Structure 1
Amino acid sequence: MSALPQTTPLALHAAAQAYGSAPAVTDGSVRLSWAQLLDSVRETARVLIAQGVERGDRIGIWAPNTHHWITAVLATHYVGAVIVPLNTRYVADEAADVLSRVRAKALFIVGEFLGRDRLAELRADAPELTIDTVIVIPGDRDAAVENAIAWAELPKLAEAVTLADAIARAESVLPDDVSDILFTSGTTGRSKGVLIPHTRALTSARAWADCATLNQQDRYLVVPPFFHSFGYKAGILASLVTGASIVPQATFDVPETMRLIAAERITVLTGPPTIFQTILEHPARATADLSTLRVAVTGAATVPVVLIERMRDELDFDVVLTAYGQTESGGFGTMCRPEDSAETIANTCGRAIDGFEIKLADNGELLLRSSQIMLGYLEDPQATADTIDNDGWLHTGDVAVIDERGYMKVTDRLKDMYISGGFNVYPAEVEQAMARLAGVAETAVIGVPDERMGEVGKVYVVRKPGAELTADDVLAHAKTLLANFKVPRFVEFRDQLPYSAAGKVLKRQLREEKA
């Protein structure tokens, strides 16, 4: 048996050779076999080479889940460049900060989508940002874009570079070359770029796919956003290494999700518990054909035992799993197994997947160790040293318990991060945004329970003397600076916040008031 490919270009070559005319991507009227996906990737790669992209250059992508994203990320890897996914909910300031920090050489960006023109926003809010090549992915409507390349122009522009040159570039990519930089916020409120090389991303994706029983016959509806490690690595990369067919969904809409499941004979559905809860409660489910569903993987929030039971009994999944990972661990770490009980699946995050070790620090913090975790944070050796100790253990910041079987359950957070709709929210970042509002003296942000989102933000505000701020003022300000999942849902004004003797806000006290 030959060695498994350790770069995504070689993995794509292997998939095209092994699966050929089998479906790779289905996105509306666009249907690509594995051979056609390889052709699409090579065409886009030739354009990137023609535009002067070199190995190691960073390329941003700010777009929803479509076939273009899949081609763009694999083409970026094909030329030896590094993909930098941007959260589609970012406002322009957040996107510009990431793009400037990575010194992006190129950017894939969606045209007008859901009422937003991100390129116009970026150019208006960050005129100082210069990116050599901007490629516009089709949005909700066609529109001419100045100083950018339309997706439809790629075939013509590709003619400037030979196929042989593109293949030579792909074959020059090394397993330890960085494949992606995903940004995750830190306790200081400023995001940090996580560096992962090709070989680590592919090894983890194979281990995840093995636990999830993903295989070449599967048709995988990817609802988690591709900009997130789960949608990208447990979605695109896991499909790449197994030959599963990818069906991207640009925005989560329950009737459309159920229509796609029936129309495309979907077998695999993943995402936060809210996705499954919403489907179960939707009135149209009674008449929807969901009979092809086979595998569900969820996590990133508390999962009730009854939800696991209903997913098995009412949605008729054969395999229902929960999992745990962090961006710093490549998105992976622990996972349940198909034979586990509903109680185990609901009440734990499973045990270590292949290649990972877990243990608890003296203070109960969960530690992960693997050859698959990040190389470190972008240009931040101190934060890297603070997170990965001398013995190679990644300090997750989560407090956990591990039972005698090796199954892990997260019980608390050392830091104040909370999870809203599957997305991490870091209160320090929100508090920094609040501090920029005139009339605010102090703020504290915590996560509070929410039936649909898992948790949502609540901000406690101390006004400056004489200020007449309202809750509407606070929320309107937050919406101009933060992605919507970071915007607090509730505002409470206080005369003062509770502080410890060390001068830190007692957020535990605020949380206990709501318990």
Structure 2
Amino acid sequence: MTDNFWKDKYPVGVKSEINPDEYQNIQAVLKQSCEQFADKPAFSNLGKTLTYGELYKLSGEFAAYLQQNTDLQPGDRIAVQLPNVLQYPIVVFGAMRAGLIVVNTNPLYTAREMEHQFNDSGAKALICLANMAHLAEEVLPKTGIRHVVVTEVGDTLPTVKRMLVNAVVKHVKKMVPAYNLPKAVKFTDAMALGRGKAPREANPASDDVAVLQYTGGTTGVAKGAMLTHRNIVANMLQCRALMGSELGNGCETMVAPLPLYHIYAFTFHCMTMMLIGAHNVLITNPRDLPTFVKDLAKYRFTGFVGLNTLFVALCNNEDFRKLDFSSLKATFSGGMALQLAAAERWQQVTGCEICEGFGMTETSPVVSVNPFGGIQIGTIGIPMPSTLCKVIDDEGNDLPMGAIGELCVKGPQVMKGYWQRQDATDEILDADGWLKTGDIGIIQDDGYMRIVDRKKDMILVSGFNVYPNELEDVLATLPGVLQCAAIGVPDERAGEAIKLFVVVKPGESLTKEQVMQHMHDNVTGYKRPKTVEFRDSLPTTNVGKILRRELRDEELKKLGKK
């Protein structure tokens, strides 16, 4: 597609181009927004609200702590392993103001997953929740991490409430396993050490890396996508531009149930919503639907960011259906395909259409979205401003309009590359800046795009990428396993669920329970299988490569979907 093809595809009032160099770095956006919206609420959680002014003050004090009480230097990596709590924006923006590179880390990772990410990134510091500190204790001796800050869920709350919440989490709910990290610093102590002190504000170049966001990319080896300040700022400006005048400055309340450590929620809530001074209501545990719905009832929310799994679960909740949706004017979906039934049900319950988009970790993440007033359910919308898309065949040749091929994207939000993996970067990103998405798509005459299949074997569980290679590597370490394969099968709740196929070594035996327990011990929750099937053999190529697609086709035939 030529540049001109896209220019007239945008709704009236939406510019087809943004200036990705409007801000030199994320810090410039943060400073501007925190001054402009100083008295406006920025983030709320557990009944406590931080204004933008308070966020700037507290993130500055955390930056001062890092600079004056550690030997961390600009460019060093800091792993942030937190759920949706107020500490997250304080820590992330504080780390950036100190010049550090943020490594977002899933709090539910197993020790094995943590060790790989910490070592691959070369992280020198870790901020984690006390609930996961026992795993940190196990992992840290095997890594280069020298500084650890441990926080408890209620650490940003007023003293009495903080003590009560932390005591309930630890002693009543038994959610904090015992740990021993004698050199770790408590978050509250770190903040006390930085209190009243001004940081030396870092001023990184636009091409400097801001975030290392880990992903399997198009293979199963977790790699760090180098997202620069320019990448993230550009995607923030692109999202803002495509919203047009629908969302106003300083007057929106956005529900944030998706984890901020995931690039989708990170860019949307911490960046795009910061630019417009929106209020982000952080939901720490969206799986606890009764508590989630009670939290929602306290706010006249104007926006909601979710994915198919969550929309279905909420619409099936009687108390959710009773909420007041009169202020809701924007719902965004990403991370996994939005099913027509879920979209229709959401609109029926809330009166609000869902804007579905498409993105990747490697694109900071948003590539395209359905614009307000022009939603086509079943499509991923039109490319973001200043973004080009095309489809190619297996030989890399450009294909005409309406043809099916691998979707490629080019724009200022495309990553710098994979951290210390030039070979993997070269496989996905060419010299002209085109990124291969690994998704098979179609570009329609009206500029809207559809995803029809995935080129790779990746499994998508509730918006999270799961790579068969990783699961098979883990399962292969279980004694008794001769061959194994992992595939995704359709699942009404999660989009896809994981199914394992196992061939047991001659003369040995294995049970489903043993397989499940082994996976439970070695991979985080969303990567765990739902079903296990034992077989005498698996389909392979003439050189012995297991044919996952054949296994998937068999499963689809069983379900009458092929």
TM-score over 0.5 for the pair: yes
1:169 to 180, 194, 201: 201
Superposed displacement of residue 254, structure 1? 2.2
Query: What residue in structure 2 maps to residue 141 of structure 1?
Result: 166
Query: What residue in structure 1 maps to residue 307 of structure 2?
Result: 272
**Is structure 2 residue 253 aligned with structure 1 residue 219?**
yes
Query: What residue in structure 1 maps to residue 359 of structure 2?
Result: 325
Superposed displacement of residue 145, structure 1? 5.5
CA deviation map 1:368-406 (0-9, x unaligned) = 111221000000011111110122110111111111112
2:443 to 402, 421, 434: 402
CA deviation map 1:61-101 (0-9, x unaligned) = 11101110011111111111100011122101211211122
CA deviation map 1:467-489 (0-9, x unaligned) = 11011111110111111111111
Query: What residue in structure 2 maps to residue 115 of structure 1?
Result: none
**Distance in 2 between residues matched to 1:432 and 1:188, nearest whole Å:** 13
**Distance in 1 between residues matched to 2:54 and 2:217, nearest whole Å:** 40
**Distance in 1 between residues matched to 2:343 and 2:32, nearest whole Å:** 36
2:234 to 200, 203, 210: 203
Preserved contact between residue 264 and residue 334 of structure 2 (Cα < 8 Å): no
Work out the number of aligned pairs and report it: 500
Query: What residue in structure 2 maps to residue 482 of structure 1?
Result: 523
Q: What's the % identity of the aligned pairs?
A: 29
Structure 2 residue runs of 5 or longer lacking an equivalent are 1-18, 154-164, 171-179, 395-404, 557-562
**Is structure 2 residue 306 aligned with structure 1 residue 259?**
no
Preserved contact between residue 110 and residue 138 of structure 1 (Cα < 8 Å): yes
Preserved contact between residue 360 and residue 400 of structure 1 (Cα < 8 Å): yes
Superposed displacement of residue 125, structure 1? 4.3
Preserved contact between residue 189 and residue 432 of structure 1 (Cα < 8 Å): no
**Distance in 2 between residues matched to 1:209 and 1:260, nearest whole Å:** 27
Using a 3 Å threshold, how does the CA distance of structure 1 residues 20 and 480 change in structure 2: closer, same or farther?
Answer: same
Preserved contact between residue 186 and residue 426 of structure 1 (Cα < 8 Å): no
AA matched with 1:129: T
Superposed displacement of residue 261, structure 1? 2.2
CA deviation map 1:131-167 (0-9, x unaligned) = 22211121363689621111111343116x941xx1x
Superposed displacement of residue 173, structure 1? 2.4
Tell me the secondary structure at the aligned position of residue 303 of structure 1: coil
Using a 3 Å threshold, how does the CA distance of structure 1 residues 285 and 246 change in structure 2: closer, same or farther?
Answer: closer
Query: What residue in structure 1 maps to residue 98 of structure 2?
Result: 79
Using a 3 Å threshold, how does the CA distance of structure 1 residues 174 and 508 change in structure 2: closer, same or farther?
Answer: same
Query: What residue in structure 1 maps to residue 465 of structure 2?
Result: 424
Tell me the secondary structure at the aligned position of residue 59 of structure 1: strand
**Distance in 2 between residues matched to 1:250 and 1:503, nearest whole Å:** 45
Tell me the secondary structure at the aligned position of residue 457 of structure 1: strand
1:292 to 327, 340, 343: 327
> Which deviates the most, 276-285 or 203-212?
203-212
Tell me the secondary structure at the aligned position of residue 442 of structure 1: strand
Q: Whose relative contact order is higher, 1 or 2, with alpha carbons under 8 Å and at least 6 apart? A: 2
**Is structure 2 residue 392 aligned with structure 1 residue 361?**
yes
Query: What residue in structure 2 maps to residue 12 of structure 1?
Result: 30
Query: What residue in structure 2 maps to residue 182 of structure 1?
Result: 213
TM-score of the pair, normalised by structure 2 = 0.85
Using a 3 Å threshold, how does the CA distance of structure 1 residues 155 and 444 change in structure 2: closer, same or farther?
Answer: closer
Tell me the secondary structure at the aligned position of residue 201 of structure 2: helix
Query: What residue in structure 1 maps to residue 115 of structure 2?
Result: 96
**Is structure 2 residue 482 aligned with structure 1 residue 464?**
no
Preserved contact between residue 25 and residue 205 of structure 2 (Cα < 8 Å): yes
Query: What residue in structure 2 maps to residue 307 of structure 1?
Result: 342
Tell me the secondary structure at the aligned position of residue 95 of structure 2: helix
1:339 to 373, 387, 399: 373
Preserved contact between residue 262 and residue 290 of structure 1 (Cα < 8 Å): no
Tell me the secondary structure at the aligned position of residue 536 of structure 2: coil
**Distance in 2 between residues matched to 1:449 and 1:29, nearest whole Å:** 38
Tell me the secondary structure at the aligned position of residue 300 of structure 2: coil
Superposed displacement of residue 188, structure 1? 4.6
Query: What residue in structure 1 maps to residue 551 of structure 2?
Result: 510
TM-score of the pair, normalised by structure 1 = 0.93
AA matched with 2:426: A
**Is structure 2 residue 428 aligned with structure 1 residue 387?**
yes
> Which deviates the most, 431-440 or 292-301?
292-301
> Which deviates the most, 64-73 or 24-33?
24-33
**Is structure 2 residue 272 aligned with structure 1 residue 238?**
yes
CA deviation map 1:304-339 (0-9, x unaligned) = 32332332232122x520000000111110111111
Tell me the secondary structure at the aligned position of residue 291 of structure 2: helix
Structure 1 residue runs of 5 or longer lacking an equivalent are 113-117
**Distance in 2 between residues matched to 1:64 and 1:180, nearest whole Å:** 17
**Distance in 1 between residues matched to 2:139 and 2:423, nearest whole Å:** 31
